[in-house]
Structure 1
Amino acid sequence: MSTPSARKVVVTGIGLALPGVAKYGDLLGPLPVEGGLDPATGLRGREMRHKDRASRLALRAAESALHHAGLTDDKATFTGVADATTVVVSTNLGNVDSVCEATDTIARTGVRGLSPLGLPQTSSNVIAGWVAIRYGLRGPNLTVCNGTTSGLDALAWARNLIVAGRAEAAVVVGVEPANEVATRLLGEQSTDAAVAIVLESADEAASRGARPRATIGGYARTRDLAAALTSAGVTEKRSVGLWLVDEAGAGAGQLLAATRRIDLESQLGPLSGALGILQCAAAAAHLERDATGNVLATAGGPRHDAAAALLLTP
């Protein structure tokens, strides 16, 4: 599946809530570094009350991304076009702790034991909902829960909404929480990770004087990584200066063998639905340095049901 390309879509804002990463330029390595999110203090505050951990992480990242894009004022109030701004969230384990807590409560005491304050956290779209409510965003609102390709898929869905004229801007969030439930499901220590990317049509960004930090290029999701690269438009004539990979891409030695590679999960731990969007942030950091070549982000491969590839250009 390839996305249309009639309307250029650019990255104008990036925000992180991630321990061991102080700024998105740090993603080019080595990691971790001093700084970044301190969950003990960074997830507190009045606006964080009665929200699941993943939603609190997402709100922190979205706040930074919107500020970086110049879409909030000094009171953190959204200043863009709310009716034309969409929220797309990628998460695979986001609120699973809330769902498990609710089912455990029902098993012990029945439905009367459920808290009215906690029940909204069991919605599969709760994270996207909280981001939209916080900033009054009234465009399309959805969550992508699509396994290892989820983050790249979310960026493609947001781009499609802008290309189709359903939105002028998108807040795309990738988030996964560190908690006992997520760790049991993964079979290893989970990672607190949230990253938000603001996408806009190039015309909209230019009209308000926003700085484009990267352009979303070709995208494809197929069953095979090599086929995904071809469908996304990766060719010998379209040079790739940086390849952001996961474990599957890191092992694909015969593909783009001369390209520099960065595997963020090998340095930061499991990222799941946050991976693709964190790759987009790293791509923007690379392109902002006037580095040569485009940036390729891939996820998935033989051990998964699909592979996705996204090409980012200056």
Structure 2
Amino acid sequence: MNATHANPNAREVVVTGIGLALPGVATYGDLLGPLPGEGGFDPATGLIGRELRHKDRASRLALRAAQFALHDAGLTDADNTFIGATDSTAVVVSTNLGNADSVCEATDTIATAGVTGLSPLGLPQTSSNVIAGWVAIRYRLRGPNLTVCNGVTSGLDALAWARNLIMAGRAEAALVVGVEPANDVVTKILGRQSTDAAVAVVLEPPDAAACRGARPRATIAGYARARDLAAALTCAGVTEEASVGLWLGDEADAGAGRLLAAMRRIDLEAQLGPLSGALGVLQCAAAAAHFEGDATGTVLATAGGPRHDAAAALLLTP
């Protein structure tokens, strides 16, 4: 995964739905700042309900974000039943620490009570693909199903994987979810207070969106992952002459000289705290908000750099 690579450009993919389960952020338009700091998703009331019983916190957050995104894309009816192509809709989840608490709890139980102390209801939560599995089960989505646990670039990588699935004809649409929970295990791993964060976006070809009467919010125009950000930018098609109106990234990780220094910048983690696997998908939502405000230029989303083992760049257009 450290090798530089870019996507083919045989078919466009657009964003048609966005859903947030993020405390303090009411709409994805708030991501362009300053953040209201209140309102938005309330985990105390939003993570309860019969359909969320016996599920880990990250899965419950992801299910709520997915619900909002599918509704926003016009893919659910009044009963919250999926009305799209169930056999060819993919689920791609980005999370690095999503079920770490469940894994730690299981290992602690084995250490103290042996394997007989494990609960059959808790064991599914230890699977690295449990979040994507619950989302697919809830909406009966039988397309490709995978989880990306790829460090700081995970969210952008998940968008790229979903785009590739559609462009290759493996899926007609994709639901991409970036999620990280707030709990003691995650806080201990990060060394700082964690943040409940879940965001979901629906991706599909523009012709499919047009047939449904769905409104495209943004187009994924280019992507690359490389050892350093400068190489990723080049492979993603970002040049000195590119008309980039907004850069979503961390200046400390940039290392790309005058190109990025000249852009308007928003660092979502500086505003919201550590986002890990949710970051890239949240950047995609912020890009859509940028375009809805009639802003000019494309949006560049980046993650990683000198402090990490890789960097990724995603270019979005109106």
| TM-score range normalised by the length of the shorter chain | over 0.9
- Pairing of 1:1-314 with structure 2 (within 5 A): 1-249=5-253, 254-314=258-318
Distance across 2 between alignment mates of 1:253 and 1:85: 40
* Unmatched runs of 5 consecutive residues or more in structure 1: none
Structure 2 residue identity aligned to 1:232: A
Residues 92-112 of structure 1: CA deviation (Å, up to 9, x unaligned)? 000000000000000001000
Counterpart of 2:37 in 1: which secondary structure?
coil
Alignment check: 8 A CA contact 1:86 1:139 kept: yes
Residues 54-79 of structure 1: CA deviation (Å, up to 9, x unaligned)? 00000000000000000000100000
TM-score normalized with structure 1 length: 0.98
Residues 123-162 of structure 1: CA deviation (Å, up to 9, x unaligned)? 0000000000000000000000000000000000000000
Counterpart of 2:107 in 1: which secondary structure?
helix
Residues 138-189 of structure 1: CA deviation (Å, up to 9, x unaligned)? 0000000000000000000000000000001000000000000000000000
Counterpart of 2:277 in 1: which secondary structure?
helix
Counterpart of 1:94 in 2: which secondary structure?
coil
Distance across 2 between alignment mates of 1:154 and 1:247: 22
Distance across 2 between alignment mates of 1:43 and 1:308: 32
Alignment check: 8 A CA contact 2:253 2:306 kept: no
**Would the alpha carbon gap of residues 233 and 251 (structure 1) be closer, same or farther in structure 2, given more than 3 Å must change?**
closer
Distance across 2 between alignment mates of 1:220 and 1:93: 24
Alignment check: 8 A CA contact 1:226 1:255 kept: no
Distance across 2 between alignment mates of 1:147 and 1:276: 11
Distance across 2 between alignment mates of 1:167 and 1:250: 34
Distance across 1 between alignment mates of 2:229 and 2:241: 19
Alignment check: 8 A CA contact 1:250 1:263 kept: no
* Unmatched runs of 5 consecutive residues or more in structure 2: none
State the Cα distance separating 1:197 from its structure 2 match: 0.4
Alignment coverage as a number of residue pairs: 314
Structure 2 residue identity aligned to 1:73: D
**Would the alpha carbon gap of residues 231 and 250 (structure 1) be closer, same or farther in structure 2, given more than 3 Å must change?**
closer
Moved more, 10-19 or 228-237: 228-237
Structure 1 residue identity aligned to 2:275: L
Distance across 2 between alignment mates of 1:168 and 1:296: 25
Distance across 1 between alignment mates of 2:56 and 2:9: 37
Identity, in percent, stands at 83
Q: What is the root-mean-square deviation of aligned Cα atoms in Å?
A: 1.1
State the Cα distance separating 1:254 from its structure 2 match: 3.0
Distance across 2 between alignment mates of 1:256 and 1:101: 43
